Amino acid sequence: MPLDLEIVSPERLLLSRPVDMVVIPAAEGDLGALPNHAPMIVLLRGGLVRLFEGGQVIDRLFVTGGFAEITGSRVTVLADEAMAPNAVSREEGERRLAAAQAEYDSADKTDVPVLDAAMARMQSARAMIETAQNATP
């Protein structure tokens, strides 16, 4: 029984297809979902969503963060932004990293939610840079 995967960004539905397995970049480490996975709602970090079919990666998609809902038969990824790995721009990643770093430095060091948000953005920007590097060696 395949797993119905949907990847949506606020602007549009990017992908909707059945897969054998999907690995999503959850905030606390990559998470592979097979059919009949326990129902979960997870926070995502910046990274690659990998689609598997027959033990092979058949498609990869970069997300900058967001949420995912997993049920036994369905995985829904609500990405903040999503794009093909070769469309990820290194310059954009570096720009965002600098912006997030600046925000982190200027933030009040006792304001934990703001610091957390800046850290998450820095992580996402680093993932963008890394993905861009891997896509164009």
Residues 6+ apart with CB under 8 A from 117: none
Check residue 80 for interaction with other proteins (CB under 8 A): yes
Residues near 137 by beta carbon (within 8 Å), at least 6 away in sequence:
none
Binding to other proteins, residues 2-21 (CB under 8 A): 6, 8-13
Q: How far is the CB of 87 from other proteins (least distance, A)?
A: 17
96-115 residues near other proteins, rule: CB under 8 A = 113
The residue (of 67 and 104) whose beta carbon lies closer to other proteins is: 67
In the list 5, 33, 49, 78, the residue contacting other proteins (rule: CB under 8 A) is 78
Q: Counting beta carbons within 10 angstroms of the beta carbon of residue 7, is it exposed (0 to 12), middle (13 to 18) or buried (19 or more)?
A: buried
CB of 8 to other proteins, least distance (A): 4
Rounded CA-CA distance 36/73 in Å is 6
